[in-house]
Structure 1
Amino acid sequence: MRLKSLEIKGFKSFADKTVLNFDEGITGVIGPNGCGKSNIIDSIRWVIGEHKISNLRSENLESLVFNGSKTRSASGLAEVSLTFENTKNLLPTEFNTVTVTRKYYKSGESEYRLNDVACRLKDIHNLFMDTGVSTDSYAIIELGMVDDIIKDKENSRRKMLEQAAGITIYKTRKKEAKLKLDATEQDLARIEDLLFEINNQLKSLESQAKKAEKYFEIKKEYKEVSI
């Protein structure tokens, strides 16, 4: 799996459509302070599913959309696309080329697409799970992360080894299965409580029915005696 290209439009400082092609080997992005180098990393984080605004160095989702300048009007949409070469089928899909797109409109609507087909954020997370490309993976190394690994802050070394071993997806599925099992057990408990209440009501109704039946029998006997 190889990152082929990054397309940015209306995201942060990128007002115009900007395409970065990544050839085989090492690619460096060089430029003066304030030219948008960090925003490139933010755009990659965002498109692969980052939902913590603080990790994108922003205050809210609206601030991800180009806000305009003295010479340019504001954009109404932030859009980022990542294209991967998948000839070795490391991504769980039959396509040799996979493009992931994320959009955010200033109106508050969000959109995710895989190869131009609408999908969920969960689908994107599942696609990249255990590939080394995710919001909590070590594909993107920031300042301070190396120290965290050395100090084993928050079990960072264990997480890194689990990602390398490819077991993160199984732990995630286990967690999801556990949540579903817990929810099912809670539903069963509620059903048992409901059945208990219904059973008590049935017993009460049976008792009332017997009393009513006895009443009509006595009433019938009384009429016969009266005649």
Structure 2
Amino acid sequence: MFLKKLEINGFKSFAAKTVLDFSSFNNQDSGVSGITAIVGPNGSGKSNIADAMRWVIGEQSMKNLRSKKSEDIIFAGSGKKSKLGSAQVSLYFDNSERRLPLEFAEVSITRKIFRSGESEYLINGSRVRLQDIVDI
């Protein structure tokens, strides 16, 4: 099992949909697996990537996500862009070896939050409870 892709949209500093594709660094057919490092200057969003990954797999503490309230993780706007009404993060895992207890070769875990405070949790596009995500 390995992380294939991370999609972030509207989460903290990521106003536009951003996709980090890790699959080229993990080719099980060739026996090659890689190490990924996220680098960049101060303020470029490196910590927000880690926060997004923690949040999508169930982190509930806003303090642990370096925020005060849940609305703070939704893009707040900037001089050039308006604030957004929601944030969404998805992780895509290669599960061809069935390490996750699901019968899918690829497993996506998605979490959405709206300014209203409402949240949605999905596994492979199907709505689930937060506990279902935490359990896997």
Give the match for residue 125 of structure 1: 134
Gaps of 5+ in 1: 128-227
* Structure with more of its chain in strand, by fraction: 2
Give the match for residue 38 of structure 1: 47
Paired letter, 2:76: N
Paired letter, 1:40: I
Paired letter, 2:7: E
Give the match for residue 14 of structure 1: 14
Mapped to 2, the partners of 1:112 and 1:93 lie a distance apart of 16
Mapped to 2, the partners of 1:29 and 1:108 lie a distance apart of 30
Larger C-alpha radius of gyration, 1 or 2? 1
Find 1:76's aligned residue among 70, 73, 85: 85
Gaps of 5+ in 2: 27-33
Q: TM-score, normalised by structure 1?
A: 0.55
1:70-93 Cα deviation digits (max 9, x unpaired): 000001001000000001101001
Give the match for residue 2 of structure 2: 2
Alignment of 1:90-109 (within 5 A): 90-109=99-118
Find 1:28's aligned residue among 37, 40, 45: 37
Mapped to 2, the partners of 1:61 and 1:12 lie a distance apart of 11
Secondary structure of the structure 2 residue equivalent to 1:44: helix
Give the match for residue 51 of structure 1: 60
Shift of 1:60: 0.5
Paired letter, 1:17: K
Paired letter, 1:10: G
Shift of 1:30: 1.2
1:200-223 Cα deviation digits (max 9, x unpaired): xxxxxxxxxxxxxxxxxxxxxxxx
Give the match for residue 30 of structure 2: none
Paired letter, 1:89: R
Give the match for residue 31 of structure 2: none
Mapped to 2, the partners of 1:15 and 1:122 lie a distance apart of 28
Q: Which has the higher contact order (CA 8 A, sep 6+)?
A: 2
